[in-house]
A = this chain, B = another copy of it.
Amino acid sequence: MKGLLPELEVIRKDFPILERTVSGGLPLIYLDSANTSQKPQVVIDAMVDHLEHHNANIARAMHTLGAESTEAFEAARDKVAAFLGAPSRDEVIFTKNASEALNLIAGTLAWKGPRQVGEGDEVVITEMEHHSNIVPWQLLTERTGATLRWFGLTDDGQLDLADIDTLVTERTKVVAFTWVSNMLGTINPVAELTRRAHEVGAIVVVDASQAAPQLPIDLAAMAPEERPDVVVFTGHKVVGPTGIGVLWGRAGLLGELPPFLGGGEMIETVRMERSTYAPIPHKFEAGTPPITEAIGLGAAVDYLGHLGLAAVRDHEHAITAYALDGLATIPGLRVLGPLDPTRRGGAISFEIDGVHPHDVAQVLDSRGIAVRAGHHCARPAHARFGVQSSTRMSSYLYTTPSEIDALVEALEYTRSYFKLD
């Protein structure tokens, strides 16, 4: 098959969990990578090496271990900056996950400052967002008296940009949207949306939680008017650990925002009456950061960089195309989202007439196949397509065509198990 990563079997050996068996001895077929990715040995080893040999708190510590730990932590920031092509490494803020990163922006916009959102202002999101890119904006607008608006979706799972000029206006203070949908797989037109939002002076927040794992990103190479102001992603979906997320933000914007969490590390001077704050990135990193996790994430983006994000994307395209073909052979199966594999990400949500997604997932699990069933934290997008929930398969760089064959076969079996023929 064209486009697959070379030496796929060797790559799979990097992931210890793929040796595992489930359901009484069946090999694990992990097709839930849009939920969380598996971890290569090199990421686990980087964390263990830190814990066993270099563990210390950072910045504050004046001793050898402290210096080693600080250097490793800040080197992880450099690696993440390189991964994103960030114009400056100080624009990379470590958070606990993508959700916190989105809340950081939405939360600070509520408070006094040049960017404060208030009555009469509007925030524009889309109907295909993950709950983590909906609820923070609901909280912001409810709490400040601003108005939340959103792009609807077309029947083939694209953003409906027909109303763009009535949605994005001078009242718009923020436009927030996902780069790649975790449910529909849709890849959104970041440059076009950003250009339009910038024309009206809005800031652009892009949720790259599903994009970062599978698309090359080069912020510095984007035209400034098409470059989002904020891009977030989460460590555990890019073969990194849990407990760490990333917010990249344009330095000028981050400088305008008031502090988010207060505490150690984010200060310049503290007096009981009043404190002053450190410059970015530290301004937004209160307390002891996820040190081991940042180091693990550094190893993770290095690993991806070594494979090459373009090669990972091609692999995802090849597997996704193959999967779409296979799924098309199942009677009564409907894919939700775009059908052109080159214009979508690797998450494929579908329903099967007559079997509830939970029941599909259960039968698949009994065959060793891990998929997700439910609303995938995208309930409004499900409602838009008139469904309560769906089954989702999501591949990643370690997925093989034969795993897709096994999925298709198991779906046939599911239909017969529930006596649908």
Chain A interface residues toward B at CB < 8 A: 16-17, 20, 22-23, 28, 30, 32, 35-36, 38-39, 43-44, 47-48, 51-57, 60-66, 96-100, 102-103, 106-107, 111-112, 127, 130-136, 138-139, 142-143, 148, 150, 234, 236, 241-245, 259, 261-267, 269-272, 274-275, 286-293, 358, 361-362, 364-365, 369-374, 376-377, 379-380, 383
Contact = CB atoms under 8 A, between A and B. Distances in A.
B62 A36 contact: no
A229 B66 CA distance: 35
Contacts of A148: 272
A35 B234 CA distance: 27
A61 B32 contact: yes
Contact of A241 (B264, B292, B362, B380): B292
A56 to B, nearest CB: 6
Which of the listed residues A135, A150, A289, A293 has the most CB atoms from chain B within 10 Å of its own CB? A135
Nearest to A36: B57
A32 B55 contact: no
**Copies of the protein in its oligomer:** 2
A135 B286 contact: yes
A47 B65 CA distance: 22
Contact of A288 (B60, B97, B274): B97
A195 to B, nearest CB: 25
Contacts of A369: 63
Which of the listed residues A35, A289, A383 has the most CB atoms from chain B within 10 Å of its own CB? A35
Contacts of A241: 51, 243, 292
B372 A16 contact: no
B287 A97 contact: yes
A243 to B, nearest CB: 3
B36 A44 contact: no
Contacts of A267: 131, 135
B377 A264 contact: yes
Contact of A289 (B44, B106, B242): B242
Contacts of A65: 17, 22, 28, 30, 32, 370
A263 B132 contact: yes
